[in-house]
């Protein structure tokens, strides 16, 4: 390590006899400058000559950290390897490999295999280790070498099996500790700790202490991890993984600079290991030092071109530098080098790598505005791993803005919370609230974790706050404060939103509060407790195609207190259970009046619903099974006061009883020809109002990679709409990317069929098409005939195209067609209750461009065309009306990302040209248009 003018850097050089090879840094030898990748050779006559190293690793073999084998023959070769003379050691092992003695041949092949593993020659390591096992299957060293080769190839089950066989043949410290390493890498922390604890004082104490340290990190016990890593580093100061672990433990204790220094030492001890450089780069990035981070990642790529880790971390760094197009390219390079399990190329699960999981593809796609790609990636990830919390959260964010997807969005957020590890940035309160009715654009309802997720989880206090102000009396603020200490995370949050609205009586007032705690009892067990309070009041906020149907007197009230308990327990790495308990206190009502005849209406509902759900996930090599069930109970006290000319003519108070039970089974199965199948069966027993039935709902879906650029998706499913607390359930929400739970009337049975095709046309250009149809059977009470069934049909089709023509530009286009048709007996009643929809057809064509500059500036311009026509029933007069309209709306925004991910400042305008519209909101609870010009400004800050 050295420093010049206060700038720290690493210098690694290798001196072998008459040659000096420089790997990084800059050296002048006898006045001759030596650059990285060059060797200075002294000839027999004393002359100096420069040459270019054949590989980026040339001259570093002496510094590599070689996997350990049990003592045995080939003592001379082992001594040469320990002295750094790798060439001579390999030659000696190669000579013995030709021996007629199978045992000697096996030992020589095993030694050659571990050399190949350390040098990154994975194909050679695979071949040599297999030959070693075949030559002497009863000797432990060939099996140890086989375990190193298999782990290097990401085959953790094969590596574990090989290590277990070595431990059977030689039940001593080294094979046992090797097995402990692999148990830890496979997620079995208990077994790893049990195996390692018995060997902390033997010949391989360093390996035992190191394994215990990583197990402590997995248990969020940073002080214990630090003690173990310090002991391991003291016993063997040259062990790079012990230094890396110590760095991670220090960072977990919020000592970022000290942890980064330990990682620099680890790189100095083993400069040829790509993984160490990737973690060092991540530490630099966490310190806001983008340039040295990118330099280290470049060296990591040179050292191991097959390693996905440096590409992945480069993508995150480019995203932080406001270069999302380049970040996507780096991310795709990482994916090419990745497999099902390896998010980064760790020989151990060194930490849970929370940031790498949270800030995955979703951050990049969200930064580009490519929401359909984010939705596709998230649904594919969940088909492979239903426990991936980051995919659940990404999918939830991608549903925002889609009509009638609120149940799906909030269910995905609930599942993301239950599956998440300890987090320093929990959900913002507005993300989990239901039916806010906030018009999108100025105020974000996204989960908010994408922008500010730290690269390392660190103890301490974090504060995330934002404020928005704009026209029509718009003001919003939210604040989230989190304390993280060891295995405990506690956060408190509030959200305030108020607006006068775009017309008389379209005002809104929203207050949300949230208190959340998560305790990781053991590495396998996590418990959560949450309390939420919601207070809302609003007038008639809907958009309508007629000017004379909005209400000037309608007022709605919604007060909810929600209490939630969650439990996640892993019996093993392949067997996990979720439990969710929710209780709510609900008071909702509306008031309305008309002047003549003088009528006043005051309706109130009070209830205290209870909801309990449990789910178990069983994971196999080529399939995952998920099954569970739930129970819901509510008693609704309903009072409707109706006065006409001062006389009460309303019905007497009533109590409604709701009881629901459900069970389900889903299977995610790898099929032939790169296909992934989803099969499922659900049983729902719903007793609520007009419905009292038990229904069976089958599910079937497939995602099929036709080639490396084309994916076909298809699904057919039936679902029953249940009443849910907070509109959230832990039952799977989607099948092959198609949502099955919508914001329908409770008891509605729906059949949905979908077909989609996604295609990468060329680098930076994606397109796709998706079509789906729904058939609805909705129970309702007729005043004369009693319980009846209303029928409806819905269609949702879309075509999209995303293009990144240059490093700073992202263009997106989408065509969406929605159609909803309902029977004459049961039309869809809208916000005011004064009228209903028989048939509604909506075409929309959003076109948008985003410009991102590395300095932090970004700009958005979106132009959206709408064409809508519909047939309506005016319920107050019994007359029918038809309306249609077409128009274009323009939105613009300019923003600046503050350095070091401190926040975002933006100004924008919605409906730039103040276009007047006549439009029926297709989802009144989540409207997307603003019917007049709205100027706004916002600021978000992250402090930790």
- Strand runs labelled E in 645-785: 647-648, 654-670, 675-688, 691-707, 710-720, 734-735, 738-739, 749-762, 765-782
Q: Is the pLDDT of residue 242 over 50?
A: yes
- Look at 97 and 866; give whichever has higher pLDDT: 866
Q: Is the pLDDT of residue 514 over 80?
A: yes
Both tokens of residue 21? Answer: 């090879």
Please report the pLDDT score of residue 493 as a whole number: 93
Q: Is the pLDDT of residue 352 over 50?
A: no
Please report the pLDDT score of residue 697 as a whole number: 96
What is the arithmetic mean of pLDDT over 929-941? 92
Alpha-carbon distance of 624 to 385, in angstroms, equals: 8
Please report the pLDDT score of residue 47 as a whole number: 65
Q: Is the pLDDT of residue 360 over 70?
A: no
Please give the backbone phi and psi of residue 594, each rounded to the nearest 5 degrees, phi first: -130, 145
Say whether the peptide bond before residue 597 is cis (omega within 30 degrees of 0). Answer: yes
Nearest alpha carbon to residue 920 among 875, 876, 880, 884: 884
Nearest alpha carbon to residue 610 among 674, 654, 551, 661: 661
Please report the pLDDT score of residue 310 as a whole number: 84
738 and 701 Cβ atoms separated by less than 8 Å: yes
Least confident window among 291-295, 561-565, 567-571: 291-295
Q: Is the pLDDT of residue 452 over 70?
A: no
- Look at 58 and 430; give whichever has higher pLDDT: 430
Kindly report, residue by residue over 634-683, the tens digit of the pLDDT.
999 999 998 888 888 888 888 889 999 999 999 999 988 889 999 999 99
- Strand runs labelled E in 486-622: 488-499, 508-522, 525-538, 555-572, 575-594, 599-607, 610-619
What is the arithmetic mean of pLDDT over 249-276? 90
Maximum average pLDDT range among 186-190, 542-546, 821-825: 542-546
Q: Is the pLDDT of residue 522 over 50?
A: yes
Please report the pLDDT score of residue 99 as a whole number: 77
- Look at 350 and 478; give whichever has higher pLDDT: 478
Least confident window among 34-48, 266-280, 616-630, 723-737: 34-48
Nearest alpha carbon to residue 897 among 861, 942, 862: 942
Least confident window among 17-21, 192-196, 277-281, 360-364: 17-21
Nearest alpha carbon to residue 221 among 188, 193, 182: 193
Alpha-carbon distance of 161 to 141, in angstroms, equals: 14
Could you tell me the pLDDT band of residue 19, with boundaries at 50, 70 and 90?
A: low
Q: Is the pLDDT of residue 29 over 80?
A: no
Kindly report, residue by residue over 95-112, the tens digit of the pLDDT.
777 778 888 889 889 888
Please report the pLDDT score of residue 455 as a whole number: 72
Could you tell me the pLDDT band of residue 23, with boundaries at 50, 70 and 90?
A: low
Could you tell me the pLDDT band of residue 349, with boundaries at 50, 70 and 90?
A: very low
The pLDDT > 90 percentage for the chain reads 43
Alpha-carbon distance of 410 to 417, in angstroms, equals: 11
Please report the pLDDT score of residue 785 as a whole number: 65
Please report the pLDDT score of residue 304 as a whole number: 78
Least confident window among 19-23, 644-648, 758-762: 19-23
End-to-end CA distance of the chain: 29
**Model's pTM, two decimal places?**
0.87
Kindly report, residue by residue over 407-418, the tens digit of the pLDDT.
999 999 999 999
Please report the pLDDT score of residue 40 as a whole number: 67
Nearest alpha carbon to residue 328 among 369, 290, 294, 281: 369
Listing DSSP states for 39-92 in one string gives EEEE-TTS-EEEEE-SSTTTT-GGG--PPP--S-S-HHHHHHHHTT-HHHHHHH
Q: Is the pLDDT of residue 811 over 50?
A: yes
464-491 burial: b if 16+ Cβ within 10 Å, else e:
bbbebebbbebebbbbbebebebbebbb
What is the arithmetic mean of pLDDT over 906-912? 95
Nearest alpha carbon to residue 323 among 679, 853, 688, 731: 853
Please report the pLDDT score of residue 52 as a whole number: 53
What is the arithmetic mean of pLDDT over 358-366? 65
Neighbour tally for 30: CB within 10 Å: 7
Please report the pLDDT score of residue 226 as a whole number: 95
3-state secondary structure of 730: coil
Kindly report, residue by residue over 189-203, the tens digit of the pLDDT.
788 888 888 777 777
How open is the CA angle 164-167-168, to the nearest 5 degrees?
A: 90
Please report the pLDDT score of residue 348 as a whole number: 42
- Distances from the Cα of 272 to the Cαs of 40, 120, 175, in angstroms? 20, 9, 25
Computed from CA positions of residues 543, 545, 547, 553, in that sequence, does the dihedral angle turn out positive or negative? Answer: negative
Alpha-carbon distance of 733 to 105, in angstroms, equals: 56
Largest CA distance in the chain: 118
Alpha-carbon distance of 820 to 772, in angstroms, equals: 12
63 and 240 Cβ atoms separated by less than 8 Å: no
What is the arithmetic mean of pLDDT over 313-317? 83
Kindly report, residue by residue over 708-753, the tens digit of the pLDDT.
899 999 999 999 999 999 999 999 999 999 999 998 888 999 999 9
Residue 246, C-beta contacts closer than 8 angstroms, at least 6 positions apart: 213, 226, 229, 230, 233, 259, 262
- The H helix count followed by the E strand count for the chain is 22, 35
Alpha-carbon distance of 767 to 381, in angstroms, equals: 20
Report the phi/psi class of residue 227: left, alpha or beta, with left for phi > 0 and alpha for psi in -120 to 50: alpha
Nearest alpha carbon to residue 665 among 684, 680, 678: 680
Where does residue 785 rank: exposed (0-12), middle (13-18), buried (19+ CB within 10 A)? Answer: exposed
**For all residues of the chain together, what is the average pLDDT?**
84
Q: How many residues does the chain have?
A: 944
Least confident window among 25-34, 290-299, 422-431, 776-785: 25-34
Neighbour tally for 805: CB within 10 Å: 11
Element (H, E) at 406: helix 406-419
Q: Is the pLDDT of residue 589 over 80?
A: yes
Please report the pLDDT score of residue 903 as a whole number: 87
CA atoms within 13 A on the CB side of 657: 3
Please report the pLDDT score of residue 448 as a whole number: 53
- Look at 508 and 78; give whichever has higher pLDDT: 508
What is the arithmetic mean of pLDDT over 221-229? 93
Element (H, E) at 861: strand 857-874
Alpha-carbon distance of 255 to 477, in angstroms, equals: 32
Could you tell me the pLDDT band of residue 54, with boundaries at 50, 70 and 90?
A: very low
Q: According to DSSP H, which parts of 186-255 are helical?
A: 189-197, 205-218, 222-235, 240-252
Could you tell me the pLDDT band of residue 483, with boundaries at 50, 70 and 90?
A: very high
- Strand runs labelled E in 387-524: 460-470, 474-485, 488-499, 508-522
Q: Is the pLDDT of residue 562 over 80?
A: yes
Please report the pLDDT score of residue 347 as a whole number: 39
Please report the pLDDT score of residue 421 as a whole number: 83
768 and 777 Cβ atoms separated by less than 8 Å: no
Q: Is the pLDDT of residue 271 over 50?
A: yes
Please report the pLDDT score of residue 496 as a whole number: 95
Alpha-carbon distance of 340 to 616, in angstroms, equals: 21
What is the arithmetic mean of pLDDT over 304-321? 81
Q: According to DSSP H, which parts of 729-871 are helical?
A: none
Please report the pLDDT score of residue 364 as a whole number: 82
Kindly report, residue by residue over 376-408, the tens digit of the pLDDT.
888 888 888 888 888 888 888 888 878 888 999
What is the arithmetic mean of pLDDT over 518-532? 92
Residue 683, C-beta contacts closer than 8 angstroms, at least 6 positions apart: 662, 663, 664, 694, 695, 696, 697
What is the arithmetic mean of pLDDT over 863-877? 86
Q: Is the pLDDT of residue 6 over 90?
A: no
Could you tell me the pLDDT band of residue 900, with boundaries at 50, 70 and 90?
A: confident
Q: Are strands 903-910 and 48-52 parallel, antiparallel or unpaired?
A: unpaired
Both tokens of residue 574? Answer: 């392949």
């Amino acid at each position: 390590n050295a420093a010049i003018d206060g700038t720290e850097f690493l210098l690694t050089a290798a001196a072998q006899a008459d040659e000096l090879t420089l790997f990084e840094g800059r050296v002048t030898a006898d006045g001759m400058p030596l650059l990285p990748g060059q060797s200075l050779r002294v000839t027999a006559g004393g002359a100096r000559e420069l040459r270019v190293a054949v590989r980026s690793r040339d001259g570093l073999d002496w510094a590599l950290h070689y996997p350990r084998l049990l003592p045995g023959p080939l003592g001379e070769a082992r001594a040469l390897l320990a002295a750094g003379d790798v060439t001579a050691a390999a030659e000696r092992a190669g000579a013995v490999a030709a021996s007629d003695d199978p045992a000697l041949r096996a030992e020589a092949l095993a030694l050659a295999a571990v050399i190949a593993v350390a040098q990154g020659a994975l194909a050679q390591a695979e071949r040599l280790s297999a030959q070693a096992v075949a030559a002497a299957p009863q000797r432990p060293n060939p099996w140890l070498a086989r375990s190193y080769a298999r782990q290097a190839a990401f085959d953790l089950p094969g590596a574990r099996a090989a290590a277990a066989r070595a431990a059977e043949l030689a039940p001593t410290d080294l094979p046992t500790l090797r097995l402990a390493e692999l148990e830890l890498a496979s997620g079995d922390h208990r077994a790893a700790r049990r195996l390692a604890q018995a060997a902390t004082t033997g010949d391989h104490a360093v390996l035992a202490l190191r394994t215990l340290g990583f197990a402590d990190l997995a248990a969020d016990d940073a002080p214990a991890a630090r003690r173990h890593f310090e002991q391991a580093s003291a016993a063997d100061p040259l062990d790079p993984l012990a230094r890396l672990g110590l760095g991670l433990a220090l960072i977990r204790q919020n000592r970022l600079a000290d942890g980064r220094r330990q990682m620099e030492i680890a790189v100095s001890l083993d400069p040829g290991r790509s993984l160490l450089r990737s973690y060092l780069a991540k530490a630099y990035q966490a310190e806001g030092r983008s340039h040295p981070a990118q330099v280290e990642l470049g060296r990591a790529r040179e050292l191991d071109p097959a390693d996905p880790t440096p590409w992945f971390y480069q993508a995150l760094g480019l995203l932080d530098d406001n270069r999302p197009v380049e970040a996507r390219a780096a991310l795709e390079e990482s994916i090419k080098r990745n497999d099902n399990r390896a998010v980064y190329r760790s020989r151990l699960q060194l930490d849970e790598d929370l940031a790498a999981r949270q800030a995955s593809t979703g951050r990049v796609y969200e930064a580009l505005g490519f929401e359909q790609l984010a939705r596709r990636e998230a649904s594919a990830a969940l088909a492979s791993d239903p426990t991936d919390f980051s995919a659940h959260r990404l999918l939830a964010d991608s549903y925002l803005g889609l009509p009638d997807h609120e149940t799906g969005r909030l269910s995905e957020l609930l599942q993301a919370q239950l599956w998440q590890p300890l987090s320093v940035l929990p959900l913002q309160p507005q993300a989990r609230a239901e039916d806010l009715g906030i018009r999108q654009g100025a105020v974000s309802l996204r989960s908010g974790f994408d922008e500010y997720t730290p690269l390392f989880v660190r103890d301490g206090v974090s504060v995330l706050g934002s404020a928005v102000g704009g026209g029509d009396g718009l003001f919003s603020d939210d604040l989230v404060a989190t304390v993280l200490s060891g295995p405990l995370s506690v956060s408190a949050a509030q959200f305030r939103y108020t607006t006068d609205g775009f017309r008389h009586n379209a005002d809104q007032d929203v207050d949300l509060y949230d208190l959340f705690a998560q305790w990781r009892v053991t590495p396998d067990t996590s418990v959560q407790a949450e309390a939420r309070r919601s207070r809302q009041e609003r007038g008639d906020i809907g958009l309508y195609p007629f000017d004379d149907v909005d209400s000037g007197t309608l007022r709605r009230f919604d007060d909810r207190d929600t209490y939630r308990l969650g439990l996640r327990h892993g019996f093993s790495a392949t067997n996990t259970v979720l439990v969710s308990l929710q209780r709510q206190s609900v008071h909702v009502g509306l008031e309305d009046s008309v002047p003549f005849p003088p009528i006043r209406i005051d309706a109130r509902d009070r209830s205290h619903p209870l909801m309990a759900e449990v789910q178990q996930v069983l994971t196999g090599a080529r399939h995952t099974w998920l099954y569970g069930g739930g129970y819901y109970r509510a008693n609704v006290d309903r009072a409707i006061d109706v006065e006409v000319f001062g006389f009460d003519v309303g019905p007497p108070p009533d109590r409604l009883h709701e009881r629901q039970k459900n069970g389900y089974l889903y299977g995610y199965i790898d099929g032939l020809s790169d296909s992934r199948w989803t099969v499922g069966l659900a049983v729902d027993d719903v007793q609520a109002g007009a419905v009292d039935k038990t229904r069976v709902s089958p599910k079937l879906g497939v995602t099929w990679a036709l080639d490396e650029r084309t994916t076909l998706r298809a699904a057919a499913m039936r679902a029953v709409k249940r009443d849910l607390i907070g509109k959230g359930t832990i039952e799977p929400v989607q099948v092959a990317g198609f949502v099955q739970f919508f914001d329908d009337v409770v008891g509605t049975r729906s059949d949905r069929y979908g077909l989609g095709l996604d295609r990468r046309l060329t680098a930076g250009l994606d397109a796709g098409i998706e079509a789906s149809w729904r058939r609805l059977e909705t129970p309702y009470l007729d005043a004369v005939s009693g319980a009846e069934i209303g029928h409806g049909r819905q269609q949702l089709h879309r075509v999209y195209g995303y293009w990144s023509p240059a490093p700073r530009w992202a263009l997106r286009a989408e065509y969406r067609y929605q159609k909803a048709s309902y029977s004459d007996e049961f039309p869809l009643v809208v916000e005011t209750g004064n009228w209903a929809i028989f048939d509604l057809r909506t075409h929309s064509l959003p076109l948008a461009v985003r410009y991102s500059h590395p300095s932090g500036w970004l700009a958005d311009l979106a132009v959206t065309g709408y064409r809508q026509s519909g047939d309506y029933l005016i319920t107050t007069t019994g007359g029918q009306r038809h309306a249609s309209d077409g128009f274009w709306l323009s939105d613009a925004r300019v923003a600046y990302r503050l350095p070091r991910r401190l926040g975002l400042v933006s100004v924008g305008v919605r409906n730039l040209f103040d276009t007047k519209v006549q439009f029926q909101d297709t989802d009144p609870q989540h409207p997307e248009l603003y019917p007049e010009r709205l100027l706004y400004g916002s600021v978000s800050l992250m402090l930790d």
